[in-house]
Amino acid sequence: MEETTEMQSEENKLSMEKNKKRRLKTPAQLTALESFYNDHKYPTEEMKSELAEELELTEKQISGWFCHRRLKDKKLLNDEVGANGRQDRSSGVIQDRGSGLVQDSCGSTKHGDYRYLDPKEVESHGLYNHEFSAADMTYAHRNHHYAENDSATDNTSSESCSSLQDRLLPQGQDQYDMEPSSHLMPNGSLPPLNPKGANNMGYKPSGYLKVKGEIEHVSISAVKKQLGNHFQEDGPLLSVEFDTIPPGAFEGQIADLANEGYYAANPALPNSPEVSAGKKQSSSSRYDSYFTKLRSQDSHMVGGDFGSLHGPDFQDKKPHKQINQRASFHSFTNHLPHNNSSLDLYVDSTGEASAYNGGKNRRMGTKHGFEGMRSDSASYPSDHYEENAVAVKQIDSLLDLYNNINLKNVQKNEYVKSKPSNSIHKSQIYLNAEEKGLTKRMANEEKFNDERKLRKQYHVPDGIRVLSNEKMVAKRAKVDPFESYDVKQTPLSDLEPRKVQRSAAEMPSRFSEDETAETSSSVD
């Protein structure tokens, strides 16, 4: 009797061990899932089964994972909103528009959260592919108008179609990178932050926040634009405290606007940080179809040669910004946390990189390009290396499959033609992203090595979550006009070190606690 019980318990034990209650997804699986989630938050059955097959998981697991992933996104977004709610209420009319955006990133339809689009609808209707409805196009067009009007301070990411941009910027990373001044105050100091958000979120502000930041930036940049040369980057912070508008400032800009469209001719303000120059350059050229194409591609895909864009001054002033910019396109390959360490990173002049993670266990890949990506994706404990290599191949094939599908649609779309940079094949994007990804990551790693612990604490795959939120917000907002604005919340990876470095006493007195994050986005 007892014997049988023992035997049964033994069997149970074995069976328990065999079917562990909880099995952690392998890093490779997570990478694949995250990558896929980036593009498809609501995968179809087909996708799920295929994914399940590729990853050797059950469809149930896949479904569950996606479900929880969406919940996670939602929760994070809610946290973000909660942490920044007061700021939202203080943003006036423009903010109202922003607040109209739905916070929920999970696409729950039963609560009527999404007044614009159901996420499923978005996906099934191929918003990615820009098959907008008339209303969508109207909205997008309006948005485009905003983007164009703000292009004087806009940056290279000012493509009006956020979804396209999302496709272009799988992680939305380059947006941050293209916005160097968002990380620095005009005097080179670090902008104040929203400590609460930085603390609590553990990842870059995204989605609603980003949109909201951009929304505010519209007004700020409009003022900047109008001020033109009179705008002082090192002056009082816009939206917080304005200098008296110089006499004639508006006339001059009106004339400029009349002559040059909305481009506020203001080349390279003396004190203007790279953004101004960079943005203006990129935006001003947006209407030159050819150069737009080139620059757009260059900026987006190559991360922009900011050295040439901004000249040596900029480089001298903000060397680490250059690093950050070079590091644009933190592609989807960088989905995994903990693989950041600066200690042994080196990027030589050819862009070739050697990276050995000084952390626990991540040995980074050594080459850029796909190899870099793969090694990146496979930068896990050695026992996962082989597995990762296989999985990354699987990711490639999966993403290619769906990306190609999307690409076909994208290429069909006439709208895309006006946005050349957006029509780039995603695989190409990935390729470029991968080329840049490693250097960027390494640069970031070098830059943010000190905060590695903090990041680890949150298990934040830097790009993913942010992009996911952003993408969702953008989708639901019907391609928010301000998605294209370059104003971003400074990535947490940028924020945290500053948070550490800057004590409260160092904070500019004019920043209230709530203003910090807001202003940091507004300043640039």
Partner DNA sequence: TTGTGTTTTATTGCCTCC
Partner DNA sequence: GGAGGCAATAAAACACAA
Judged by the rule CB under 7 A, the positions of this chain that interact with DNA are 20-25, 30, 42, 45, 60-61, 63-68, 70-72, 74, 104, 106-111, 120, 202, 338, 453, 456-459
Give 236 or 381: the residue with its C-beta nearer to DNA: 381
Beta strand ranges found along 352-510 (DSSP E)? 353-356
Name the minimum Å distance from CB 384 to DNA. 11
- Would you say 133 or 411 has its CB closer to DNA? 133
Q: Toward DNA, which CB reaches closer, 33 or 410?
A: 33
Rounded Cα distance between 10 and 2, Å, is 12
Least distance to DNA, CB of residue 336, Å: 10
| Residue number with CB closer to DNA (122 or 301) | 122
CB of 115 to DNA, least distance (A): 14
Which residue, 69 or 183, is less far from DNA as judged by CB?
69
Please state the closest distance from residue 340 (CB atom) to DNA, in A: 12
**CB closer to DNA, 225 vs 363:** 363
Rounded alpha-carbon distances, angstroms, from residue 332 to 136, 214, 283, 321, 432: 28, 23, 26, 21, 11
- Min dist CB 33 to DNA, Å, is 8
Shortest separation between residue 202's beta carbon and DNA, angstroms: 6
**Which residues are registered as beta bridge partners of 354?**
346
* HSE-up of residue 245 (Cα within 13 Å, Cβ side): 14
The residue (of 66 and 314) whose beta carbon lies closer to DNA is: 66
Euclidean distance between CA atoms 367 and 353, whole angstroms:
6
Q: Shortest Cβ distance from residue 51 to DNA (Å)?
A: 12
Coarse DSSP helix, strand, coil percentages of the chain, rounded to the nearest 5 percent: 65, 0, 35
Q: Measured from the CB atom, is 27 or 180 closer to DNA?
A: 27
- Quote the tokens at residue 417: 């033609």
Please compute, for residue 503, the number of CA atoms within 13 A of its CA located in the half-sphere on the CB side: 1
Half-sphere exposure of 306 (CA within 13 A, CB side): 33
3-state secondary structure of 445: helix
H or E, element range at 52: helix 45-55
Torsion of CA 40, 44, 49, 55, to 10 degrees: 10
Report helix, strand or coil for 38. Answer: helix
Min separation Cβ 7 and DNA, Å? 22
By the 8 A CB rule, do 480 and 154 touch? no
Reading the block at residue 497, the tokens are 């070190």
Task: Give the nearer residue to DNA in terms of CB position, either 60 or 145.
Answer: 60
- Report, in Å, the least distance between residue 244 CB and DNA: 46
Residues 202 and 189: their CA atoms lie apart, in Å, by 22
User: Tokens 């009007």, residue?
Assistant: 149
